[in-house]
Structure 1
Amino acid sequence: MKAVVCTKYGSPDVLELHEIKKPRPGKNEILVKIHATAVTSGDCRVRGFVSPIIYWFPMRIVLGFRKPRKPVLGVELSGEVEAIGSDVKRYKNGDRVFAFTGMRFGGYAEYICLPEDGLLAVKPDNITYEEAAAVFFGGTTALHFLRKGNIRNGQKVLIFGASGSVGTSAVQLAKHFRTEVTGICSTSNLELVRSLGADHVIDYTIEDFTAKGNQYDIIFDAVGKTSKSACRKALAPNGKFVSVEGQGVAKELMEDIVFLKGLIESGKLKSVIDRCYPLEQIREAHAYVDKGHKKGNVIITVNHGDHK
């Protein structure tokens, strides 16, 4: 089968399309024919080994010293069950599923084996494979940090970087939790963020959100580009600043998968897709994400042209 292999740490040029052995499911595994995956900021950080100096050594132990120990990156995907292990009960051949592999990676390939009790579910009928592959990275990250901020009905919440993968999910989730949402983004993304339900939008290129005197119960930096000290004037008394940078990684919970799936099925959460690339153009996709200006998610189509 075809798979994109990260041959060493570095620029997008280290990604190479290889022919590797097709996996076979174990007793408790399902074999998924992948139709779509995503290029997340997490994939790009691993590929380029972007790490604070203090974490350099432990991160190399976790990820691999000379190159990624898991050479096929990709943390979220959607596809169709092609085979099941002898003990599998939850899924059957032909089921359309979407999944979050996290540190197991493996999405940049034509096939993957997943444990049936992993972070996966049957794909909602009201979204495409491409949209399904754009749910879990941003959704679980946004959920984790909004909960860390102790989000509650009636609060004022500010999302810094509201137009990215995490930010577009955070705006919608904060509205679901019945808060007053302000989204910060660039000029070209104002309408997008407003369309996701933000009550107010601020263009950071022309306006300093801390200078207006407004205060927020939660400030969520969804892109890791500001700091608590920079936001101090805009934090309400007892307000919380949470950030994807330097505050740990989101915990991967099955209840979050179920929760996000329910919101999609009820029309309360939608995926935002900036661009789609075929697997063969994975380098171009990574180069685009590296620029840091994507709107929502960048999707890779796999086994394209043979699914509905």
Structure 2
Amino acid sequence: MKAIVYHEYGNIDVLRLSDVDKPVPAEDEVLIRNHAVSLNDWDFGLLQGDAVNRLLNGLRKPKRQILGSDVAGRIEAVGKKVARFKVGDDVYGDLSGRWGGFAEYCCAPEKALVLKPAGMSFVEAAAIPQAAMLAVQGLIDTGKIQPGMKLLINGAGGGVGTFGIQLAKLNGANVTGVDSTAKLDKLHSLGFDHVIDYTREDFTKNGQRYDLVLDVKTNRPVSAYSGSIAPGGSYVTVGGSLVRLLQVYLSGPWMARFRKKHFRLVALKPNKDLEYINGLFISDKIKPVIEGPYSISDYQEAFRLFDKAGHFGKVVITF
């Protein structure tokens, strides 16, 4: 089978499209013929091999040599202990922790998957798992979004932000999006009430205060965000550098006690709310925003677009 593989840590140039053996599912796994897979920040952390990801995937060289977690495809074989799915089922889900998605075939435990609705394409399904879960768990589970809230999404044009605006509008929030100049018109068309070009304006210094900030980037120290949070409001981060995330984790109790502002870190629960998203998709209340899709032969173009943050929504690769 064809797969995007890497044998050493580095940049996009170490990736290769190669022929590798088709995997064999364990007793509690299914074999999926992949139709689409999307890119995530975690793929780049594993590719580049920062300190944390080397602990997860090998200190000197990667133990798992095929990246990719958000997969969508059709089941071709099932292990004897699999009860929820059968051969021929169309499924999707997040394989975080085991990866292997950038390949024509992959194996997945049944608990990592849900059935794909008939009206949802494989490309749309591959765009959902990680980004939509972070948006749901950031805005609803952790942020406790309510009608009338003033919300800001930093990094609004990526996967989390494009799901986040749709969820926020369903919950009656007034939403500001922060991203680059090239994405502002698209943010408006997606439903953002206000947009901020981060290349021209620092939202932490413009005097505006928000009931809830959802941060996909976490590219400032915690102290910089405090002035943007209304009294009793919340700052919720779903991604960024380990140093910044650690600052949020350690500063949260102090901020809550002395400044009456809540700083929280979302620890992703993969696939937890996929059935909820299925319901919203079927009722035409949410739709993935897709960049591409790119064919497997054009994987380098897809990776480079993602790496320079030139994409809007989710970058998807098809097989």
Within the alignment, does 1:154 sit opposite 2:171 as a pair? no
Asked whether 1:219 is paired with 2:236, we answer no
In structure 1, list runs of 5 or more residues that go unmatched: 51-55, 303-308
Partner of 2:27: 27
User: Quick check: 248-257 or 31-40, which moved more?
Assistant: 248-257
Which residue does 2:312 correspond to in 1? 295
Shift of 1:207: 3.6
- Cα distance in 2 for partners of 1:16, 1:113 equals 20
* Structure 1 residue 20 displacement after superposition: 1.6
1:285 CA drift (Å): 2.0
Counterpart AA for 1:148: T
Which digits, 9 at most, give the CA deviation of each residue in 1:115-159, with x for residues without a partner?
A: 22x221111223221111111121112223223333333321100
Shift of 1:300: 0.9
1:86 maps to which residue? 80
After superposition, the Cα gap between the structure-2 partners of 1:21 and 1:187, relative to the gap in structure 1 and judged at 3 Å, is same
C-alpha separation between the residues in 2 aligned to 1:202 and 1:66? 41
Please give the alpha-carbon distance, in whole angstroms, between the structure 1 residues aligned to 2:193 and 2:173: 9
- The TM-score with structure 1 as length reference comes to 0.88
- 3-state SS, counterpart of residue 276 of structure 1: strand
TM-score normalised over the length of structure 2: 0.85
TM-superposed deviation, 1:22: 1.0
Q: 1:35 Cα deviation (Å)?
A: 0.4
- The alignment yields a C-alpha RMSD, in angstroms, of 2.0
Matched, 1:239 2:233: yes
Which residue of 107, 111, 115 corresponds with 1:122?
A: 115
> Percent identity of the aligned residues?
40
Check the 8 A contact 2:133/2:271 in 1, yes or no: no
Q: How many residues align?
A: 295
Alignment-derived partner of residue 299 in structure 2: 282
Taking the aligned partners of 2:221 and 2:187, their CA distance within structure 1 comes to 22
Deviation digits for residues 87-113 of structure 1, max 9, x if unmatched?
333222221111110111110111111
**1:17 match:** 17
Per-residue deviation at 1:73? Answer: 0.3
Q: Distance in 2 between the 1:125 and 1:94 partners?
A: 13
Q: Which moved more, 1:265-274 or 1:106-115?
A: 265-274
- Report if aligned partners of 1:119, 1:257 keep a CA contact under 8 Å in 2: no
Aligned to 2:38: 38
Alignment of 1:255-266 (within 5 A): 255-266=272-283
| 1:137 aligned partner | 130
Deviation digits for residues 150-181 of structure 1 (CA, Å, limit 9, x no counterpart): 33333211001110112112212222232221
The alpha-carbon deviation at position 291 of structure 1 amounts to 0.8
Q: 1:253 offset after TM fit, Å?
A: 4.4
Q: CA deviation at 1:24?
A: 2.2
Quick one: distance in 2 between partners of 1:295 and 1:255?
Answer: 25
Counterpart CA distance in 2 for 1:140 and 1:72 is 23
Question: Unaligned 5+ residue runs, structure 2?
Answer: 249-264
State the 4+ residue runs in structure 1 displaced beyond 4 angstroms.
none
Contact 2:291–2:315 (8 Å) recurs in 1:
yes
The residue type paired with residue 173 of structure 1 is L
What code does the residue aligned with 1:3 have?
A: A
SS in 2 for 1:68: coil
